[in-house]
Structures are given as structure tokens and as C-alpha cells.
Amino acid sequence: MADRKDFETIALPWLDAVYRAVAALCHDPATAEDLTQATFLKAFENFKTFEPGTSCRAWLIRIMRNGWIDRLRHRQVTGTPVELDENLVVARQEPEATAWSDAEDLLENFSDERVIAALRQLTDDQRLCLFLSDVEGLGQDEVAAIMGVAVGTIKSRTHRARAILKAKLEAHANELGLGPGRR
Amino acid sequence: MMHLNAEQFEEALLDEAPHREHLAGCAQCREALAGMRALRERLRTAYEGVRAPAELAARIRRQTVGMSQQHAGQALPLTKPRRHAVRFPRVWRYASLAAAAIVLVAAGLVMQLWPAGATAAQIELAQIHQQNVAAMAAGGSNMLCGDMSAMRAFVKARTGCSPLTPCCGAGTNVECCCVQKFRGRPVGCFVLKTPKGPVSLVVVPDKVDTLGMTTSIQVDGHAARGSSAAGSNMLACGVGGYTYCAVGNVDHSQLADVMAQVVKGR
């Protein structure tokens, strides 16, 4: 069993970061709290396997992601519908990386909740990639280690996620009459 | 003119230097990159206010203390085991191998029937039961024992919840009640004496599905879920707006009996 003081000094300061990552994945606050708690208890049980000098935040988020996948698998087994993985979606409409004039001004029109709601429309993998890169500011190699894929995959996945998120927000801006040419 | 591709845009977001020349001469890529930067910044600020509930850190601390104590208890036996140089007859050794094989198969079956999947909620329920048993053994200063209607009033006054209580009989009695914390909220607990050992009946406002219990069991026509965590078995069933969690170091069939008595108490 790990030294509790070490665990509290090294791992527990990342509680908010892990909770935010869980909140990016699941929409229900009770599940978010439960998964965060389960992640830290699992991390405590396995704290001896954490390598000092490496990123504890990335290690915790990897544990959290594995826990999330286990829950999705369980839901699949019990028949609760789960989101489709991006790789299973055939012929998804890919938004192009077009220019976005006055993006900063336009984005200021959206509430935090609206931005988070738009992010939730992405697949789990896209959402987590974008969240870890942009919100948590993790390096692409760290995100690749968490997701268990190559750095190149992370780059293309994050880029695709960014383009889809932008398209969702643009669509919402048009609904609000804030789109290009309407302001 | 060739524009930056997906990977190059991601690289440029982190460090513009390798693509500075292209960006200087390409307004379209420059503008696209500025849009991506703005989106990244907006995402970051959108999550700035998202924080773990204040009580969560304290709850994790409490649980790690409990896990450390439990582990220390297991790791440090009170007496040093003696070494025996006894050589058992060959037939005994075969018998013990066969017994070990049976135990492994049985354990496999049990794992199949009662998958671990111990979520934090289940560990909390197990700890509540352990605390109840310890409190009973110590005289139960935080517990109210005796009259059933007084126990109901006690739980209602402290949690606002008016739970069902089991019909007693066949060696099962509601001994005491108390209020414990589950997921940071006060919840009512009844401690039952059953022929196989004490069982805690924890009444929580959470839905059964949020407790991560995996095995479906029918109790008198009600759907219940079973699981095992931190050395205790548990069974949860939603009745009348509350979820009743029977937790104990007894088997699931005994817990199902207790739950059936709760259901009958409607």
C-alpha cells in the first residue's frame, strides 16, 4: 500500500484536473464525482507503480480513461446505448479547416455552458484529445500515451475535433444571427 | 499555393517557428490558425470554473486512511507464523491439490456471478457497514437502538427521509439505526441482526444505476443489483423513491432475504 502522505502531496493536487477531464467525458455530475473518486482510490492502490519524475496528472488521467472505458463496456453489455467511436462512423461529414474571421469576438458571444455543450457533441476520443491538449495544455506525446495511440494520430484527431467543434459553434452562431455577414 | 495540413496546423499551434515562412505569405492559413488559437483559449476559459466538489478531496482522504488501516491490519499479523517441517502423506497432498482446484473453480464462478466492479460508491457502502459493526461492538454511542417508531423518527429528523423498514421475524431484527455520510450527504442506516450476521441497510437518494452494481437479481418482483466490494457483499433495490442498500459479510441470498422483507414493508 502506498504512503498516504506521498499520495496526498503528489496525486491529490490534481483532483480538479481529473474532475474536469471526467466532466468533459460524462455529462452527469454524480457519475463525474463517482468516477473521479474511483480514479483516486485506484491510483492510491497502485501508487507504487507511479514513476516519480513523470507526469502524475497524465498517469491519473490514464487511470480515469481506463475506468471510463470499463463503464462504457459494462453499459454495452447491459444494453445501455453508448456513443459510437469516431472510427465506426462511416462517411462523417468532415468540416474543412477554413478561415474564421473575428473568431475571438464571435466566441465571446457564447456562454461557457454553450462551449462545453458543443464539445460534448464530439466523440469521446475527440473530446478527450481536444480537452487534454487545449484545456489541460498537455503535450501531444503525453496525450498519445494516455490514449494509447501514436503522436501523429493525436495530431490528426485533435485537428478534426477542433474543426468539428468550430462547425458546431458556427452553426449555433448562425442560429443566433451572429454568423458571418449577419452581424 | 499549398496550405498547411492538419498535422502542421497542430504543430504551428504549439510552435509557429517551423511554419513562419508559410504563414507570413498565406493569409488564409494565418487566419485559420488565429481562429484555432481563439477556440483553444475559449475552451480553456470555459472550463476555468469547473472544480471538483469541495467535499470530494476530504472523502478521498478518509477512504485512503481506511484503506491504509485495512491494509496494515492484513499486512501485520499479530503472531509470527510458525514453520512446520511436517511432511503430509501423499494422499493428503493430492486431496489438498484437488481442494485448491475446487476453490479456484468456485472462485471463478463467483467472479462470474458477482463481478468485482467495485466503484467508489460500493467501497463507501462497505465502509459504512464496517463502521456500523464497529460502533455496535463499542456500545453504539452514535446509534439509536430499540423502538422502531423512534428509529424512524430519528432518521427522518436527521435526513428528511422516511424510509421503509424491514418486516422482522425468522431470526431477523432491526437492532439500531444511525446516520452516516454517503457521497457527502447524510443518509439513514438500519443495522439488522440476522441469523448469518449483521446487515446494514443504508437508505440513499441515489438511483441504483449510479452505484455501479453489476449483477441483476429479482427480489419479490423488484429488480435489484448485487456486487461485492472491500470484503462485503451488497444488494441495492430502488423502492418508493429511495435506494435500499443491504450490505454485510453474508452471502447475497441472505441480503436478498433482508431486501424481500423491506419490499414487504411497503
Average pLDDT value for chain A: 82
A40 to B212: CB separation less than 8 angstroms, yes or no? no
Better pLDDT: A40 or B171: A40
CA distance B179 to B11: 55
What would the mean pLDDT of B168-179 be, rounded to a whole number? 80
Q: What tens digit of pLDDT does each residue of A65-110 get?
A: 999 998 888 776 655 444 433 433 333 444 444 555 566 777 777 8
Q: What is the pLDDT of residue A93?
A: 45
Q: What is the pLDDT of residue A1?
A: 58
Nearest CA in chain B to A162: B36
Residue B212: count other Cβ atoms within 10 Å of its Cβ: 23
Question: CB distance from B91 to chain A under 8 Å?
Answer: no
Q: What is the pLDDT of residue B242?
A: 87
Residue whose C-alpha is closest to residue A33's, from B158, B130, B206: B206
Average pLDDT value for chain B: 79
For the four alpha carbons of B117, B76, B196 and B95, in that order, the dihedral sign comes to positive
- Confidence class of residue B21 from pLDDT cuts 50, 70 and 90? confident
The residue among A10, A31, A40, A110 with the most chain B CBs within 10 A of its CB, best to mutate, is A40
Residue whose C-alpha is closest to residue B244's, from B232, B229, B255: B255
- Are B194 and B258 within 8 A, CB to CB? yes
A99 to B31: CB separation less than 8 angstroms, yes or no? yes
- Confidence class of residue B183 from pLDDT cuts 50, 70 and 90? confident
Q: Which of A38-52, B84-98, B164-178, B249-263 has the highest mean pLDDT?
A: A38-52
- Confidence class of residue B106 from pLDDT cuts 50, 70 and 90? low
- Taking the whole predicted model, whether its pTM rises above 0.90 is answered as no
Phi-psi region of A124 (alpha: psi -120 to 50; beta: other; left: phi over 0): alpha
**C-alpha pair distances (Å), B209 with each of A97, B17, B121, B129, B159:** 41, 51, 11, 20, 22
Q: From the CA of A156, how many Å to the nearest CA of chain B?
A: 6
List of long-range contacts for A12-16, beta carbons under 8 Å, 24+ apart: A12/A40, A12/B57, A12/B60, A12/B61, A14/A56, A14/A57, A14/A60, A15/A40, A15/B52, A15/B56, A15/B57, A15/B60, A16/B50, A16/B51, A16/B52
Q: State which residues of chain A have pLDDT below 50.
A: 80-97, 181-183
Q: Which of A19-23, A179-183, B72-76, B96-100 has the highest mean pLDDT?
A: A19-23
Question: CB distance from B69 to chain A under 8 Å?
Answer: no
Residues of A in contact with B183 (CB under 8 A): 30, 33-34
Q: From the CA of A53, how many Å to the nearest CA of chain B?
A: 23
What would the mean pLDDT of B40-53 be, rounded to a whole number? 90
Residues of A in contact with B206 (CB under 8 A): 30
Size of interface A-B (CB pairs under 8 A): 152
- Confidence class of residue B194 from pLDDT cuts 50, 70 and 90? confident
CA distance A116 to A135: 11
Question: CB distance from B181 to chain A under 8 Å?
Answer: no
